[in-house]
Structure 1
């Protein structure tokens, strides 16, 4: 990170400077991710009945927003350089970017080996930060090669903008996912209609209503619903079958189910 920052100042390369800024954000994001994982291990309390699992989602959202800010800065600076591209020391730039690329690939490999970067949104956001760094280094190498061969110095801001757009794409995915979780959206791997049909297929069940499925944190989904059954049915048997069915078919272990008969009446739910 420091190598690319000072290297960017010395070589006058925006690609290196933007990559070093992104790496600074990465370092902060990785620290924040570790703090989030530590917070998630803290037990629940009367005030925080779900514990601190959501801190991981908040950390991922913060990481996604910082990626947007960094990409915006890169694009703004690149636009200024389009009109008057400065001379860049391309040889030194490629050497420094190559060292940065190696470090980024090593970090990405470590994250993939030690954590679930596919399903854990917190680790995924940190992984995207590192991949964004690697792309920045690749872009700096390509820009350096073009400038070294052809003296076309506008390649530096062009590559910077392309890298920024790739960063924005990854950042948008993280932000969209985390906001969906914070809005109590149904997990993307679960179809609510399928859950409803599955529960209504249980013998003695008339209908399922007020069904809600949401994510507490990565890999931890929750469900609540009301199940109306025939009056002569054994409510505990139906409840046990519903619990097992939800866990076996949809991998939801945190379920709250209210069994009702025709004698139960309650007001209409707002949600």
Structure 2
């Protein structure tokens, strides 16, 4: 998938709207949590604050990533999005640990705090609606940016948090079971960790220059070998600069006639188009080698 400026502009606009919506919800939850004594509401507010921080980081990262390449940074600054996603994942993990610790302490308290159920429910419903709107806004950008995926996961966690807070409020209102509030806060923490793990896993794949998810290197080799005049291929490498921008390099052994008949340019165009169309690889580099040269080379297969 091409990594172009139109994606960055659209993502920036969506993030700005979502940041405004999340900010309103955060204020409502903090005020509501302090007024009602709800740990679940304050826990969700803490989660939302970390998410708001992550969203702001994501917005800044988009601006930096859009800067053009230079002689010092030949790939530009697109990997900034990945570093922003890394920060988001670490923030999510820290919040989960803090919320879980406070939740356990409240749950083991022999005299749980009195929580007003109805105000908590109303605030939770407001957060639920706003988070749902935010998810709809961010959803189209998830596939083309790991940075936007991190933002989406954060808002999705906020949505689940609002649901849990609403359920705990209903339980308190109908049964008087005050510890439902602490249980909800623990469930919120438990929901944060898997999302943080998924995000950090994706970041690791990019920073470790692993083969992009869903890319079969052997299938790519087969396509290259099937090109006219190609005898073999080795030293194949596929990695991502950032989400949506894969890079491919390979040494391609070709028949001597390709050089003698001046078909090098046509073959390079064919190989580049093949990778772009079939494997969504925007940038590919091929080193063409005659059979005699390949026979003397110490080949290190990927």
Q: Please, what TM-score do these two structures have when normalized by structure 1?
A: 0.93
1:131 aligns with 2:153: no
The worse-fitting range, judged by mean Cα deviation, of 227-236 and 162-171 is: 227-236
Q: How many Å apart are 1:266 and its aligned residue?
A: 4.5
Determine if the alignment matches structure 1 residue 255 to structure 2 residue 284: yes
The corresponding residue for 2:116 is 89
Deviation at 1:233, TM superposition (A): 2.8
Gaps of 5+ in 2: 1-25
- The residue matched to 1:212 in structure 2 has which SS? strand
C-alpha displacement at 1:268, in angstroms? 5.3
User: 1:165 corresponds to which residue?
Assistant: 190
Query: How large is the Cα RMSD of the aligned pairs?
Result: 1.8
Q: Which of the residues 125, 142, 149 maps onto 1:98?
A: 125
Structure 1 residue 244 corresponds to structure 2 residue 259:
no
Aligned to 2:180: 155
CA contact (8 A) 2:44 2:188 kept: no
- Structure 1: gaps (5+ residues): none
Q: Select which of 50, 57, 60 maps to 2:85.
A: 60
**Partner of 1:178: helix, strand, or coil?**
helix
Q: 1:140 deviation in Å?
A: 0.5
Q: Which secondary structure does the structure 2 equivalent of 1:118 belong to? A: coil
Match for residue 176 of structure 1 among 198, 201, 221: 201
Aligned in 2, Cα 1:270/1:252: closer, same or farther, shift over 3 Å? Answer: closer
Secondary structure class of the residue paired with 2:71: coil
Q: Which residue of 2 aligns with 1:80?
A: 105
Residue 180 of structure 1 aligns to a residue whose secondary structure is helix
Q: Secondary structure at the match of 1:228?
A: strand
Tell me which stretches of 4 or more aligned residues in structure 1 moved more than 6 Å: none
> Where does residue 188 of structure 1 map in the other structure?
213
**CA distance, structure 2, for counterparts of residue 51 and residue 269 of structure 1:** 30
Deviates more, 1:155-164 or 1:135-144: 155-164
Q: Does 1:8 align with 2:30?
A: no
> Alpha-carbon deviation of 1:6?
2.7
What whole-Å deviation, never above 9, does each CA across 1:147-185 have from its counterpart, x for those lacking one?
A: 111111221122222222222122211111111011101
Q: Secondary structure at the match of 2:47?
A: helix
Deviation at 1:228?
1.0
Q: Distance in 2 between matches of 1:98 and 1:247?
A: 46
Local SS of the residue matching 2:173: helix
User: For 1:100 and 1:170, how far apart are their aligned partners in 2?
Assistant: 20
1:18-67 deviation digits (Å, cap 9, x = unpaired): 11111111221121111111111111111111000000111111111111
Aligned counterpart, 1:118 = 143
Secondary structure, aligned partner of 1:53: coil
TM-score, reference length from structure 2: 0.84
- May I ask how many residue pairs the two structures share in their alignment? 269
Deviations 1:226-252 (A, max 9, x none): 011222334333322211211121121
